[in-house]
């Protein structure tokens, strides 16, 4: 089978288990690079720095993909509404208010997906981010939110991407969604279930999930509906990883953390603890990769963390407590 797929609780790419023979065998080791496709139509970015070009920003990330991969990164989270750039009010969305897709934005996303595809790397494409509200391009309500999902998954199918998985919402319970029209619905398990099923209806082969808050938990109904279990560990103490992951492993699906803001020695320890307990780990370097102006330096972003990525994904290396 070509591209990314799941067998049991393990990830495979082009028919081979990911990280075969390594401590992280079958686990999706990933990095959050949500602002690699960033733009700000509010013009604040131009006021903060004399020149910011979204295409140049994307190129800077693309040029470093081979180095990140060489250190063992299997996947990147890329977002159609970005992430927190360190200031409020950014208008950064691949969607128009009615849920139709913006051609220029999607072309930039495609460039990154294709660059990852050439490296046999997965893209976790995240659709909704809580801060994108109250502006001319903000989604206008339930129907536009549904349209956004439908149009996104149809676009993925039309492009025949084999390395893309889908995240409906970043931290669907986040209070920021209360500012969205129909935000209470979007924040509910019922709303998320509806969107997961809608995505599967229009693109049955696409692997779909949604992420919970930084406490390492996801509601049982969403776990049952999703193809993989997507969690965040930002506010979770490392010593709690075994119990958090253990509760999720019983579902028999891959467990993936795609956001943990621990850095340096703490980040390396978090990665190791996640892998030992059977969870793919996702690194978020907020100050370097996500805060404006965004910087991509490969392993130099955080050498302690990337050395641990390498150790976890190199065949023959095994972790012990």
Determine the pLDDT at residue 144. 99
Return the pLDDT at 116: 99
In order of their start, the domains of the chain are 4-313 (3.20.20.80)
Taking the whole predicted model, whether its pTM rises above 0.75 is answered as yes
Pairing of strands 10-13, 16-17: antiparallel
| 91: alpha, beta or left? (left if phi > 0; alpha if psi -120 to 50) | beta
pLDDT of residue 51: 78
Tokens coding 213: 């808050």
pLDDT number for residue 320: 74
Question: Which is nearest to 41 in space by CA: 3, 94, 4?
Answer: 94
Per-residue model confidence (pLDDT) at position 2: 87
Tokens encoding 149 = 């999902």
Q: Are the CB atoms for 131 and 88 separated by under 8 Å?
A: yes
CA distance 157 to 166: 12
- Which residue numbers in the chain have pLDDT < 50? none
What pLDDT does residue 311 have? 98
CA–CA distance, 32 with 258 (Å, rounded to integer):
7
pLDDT of residue 164: 99
Q: Where are the alpha helices (DSSP H) in 160-295?
A: 183-187, 189-202, 220-225, 241-249, 264-276
* Residue 286: alpha-carbon gap to chain centroid: 14
d(CA 123, CA 166): 8
Q: How far apart are CA 129 and CA 216, in angstroms?
A: 18
HSE toward the beta carbon, residue 52, CA cutoff 13 A: 20
Length of the chain: 321
Tokens describing residue 129: 């981010």
The encoded tokens of residue 131 equal 């801060």
Radius of gyration of the chain from its Cα atoms, rounded to whole angstroms: 18
Closest by CA position to 120, among listed 16, 224, 195? 16
Q: How far apart are CA 85 and CA 92, in angstroms?
A: 10
Q: In this structure, is the dihedral angle defined by the CA atoms of residues 119, 124, 128 and 129, taken in order, positive or negative? A: negative
What is residue 46's predicted lDDT score, i.e. its pLDDT? 61
> CB under 8 Å to 84, separation ≥6 — which residues?
131, 286, 290, 291
Please give the pLDDT value at position 43: 74
């Amino acid at each position: 089978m070509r591209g990314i797929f799941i067998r049991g609780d393990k990830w495979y790419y082009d028919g081979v288990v990911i990280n075969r023979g390594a401590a992280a065998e079958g686990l999706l080791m990933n990095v959050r690079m949500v602002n690699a496709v960033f733009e700000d139509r509010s013009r604040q970015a131009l006021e903060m720095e004399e020149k910011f070009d979204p295409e140049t920003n994307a190129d800077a990330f693309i040029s470093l993909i081979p180095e990140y991969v060489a250190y063992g990164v299997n996947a990147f989270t890329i977002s159609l509404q970005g992430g927190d750039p360190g200031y409020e009010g950014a208008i950064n969305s691949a969607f128009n208010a009615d849920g139709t897709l913006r051609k220029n934005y999607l072309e930039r996303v495609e460039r990154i997906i294709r660059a990852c595809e050439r490296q046999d790397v997965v893209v976790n494409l995240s659709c909704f981010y809580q801060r994108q509200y109250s502006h001319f391009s903000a989604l206008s309500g339930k129907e536009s939110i549904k349209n956004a999902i439908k149009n996104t998954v149809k676009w993925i199918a039309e492009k025949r991407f084999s390395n893309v998985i889908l995240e409906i919402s970043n931290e669907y319970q986040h209070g920021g969604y209360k500012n969205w029209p129909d935000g209470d619905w979007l924040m509910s398990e019922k709303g998320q279930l509806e969107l997961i099923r809608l995505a599967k209806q229009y693109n049955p082969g696409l692997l779909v999930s949604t992420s919970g808050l930084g406490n390492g938990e996801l509601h049982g109904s969403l776990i049952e509906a999703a193809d993989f279990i997507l969690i965040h560990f930002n506010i979770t103490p490392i010593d709690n990883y075994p119990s958090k992951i253990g509760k999720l492993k019983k579902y028999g699906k891959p467990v993936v953390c795609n956001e943990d803001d621990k850095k340096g020695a703490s980040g390396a320890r978090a990665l190791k603890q996640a892998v030992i307990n059977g969870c793919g780990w996702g690194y978020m370097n907020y100050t370097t990769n996500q805060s404006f102006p965004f910087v991509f330096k490969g392993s130099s972003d955080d050498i302690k963390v990337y050395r641990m990525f390498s150790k976890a994904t190199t065949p023959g290396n095994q972790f012990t407590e």
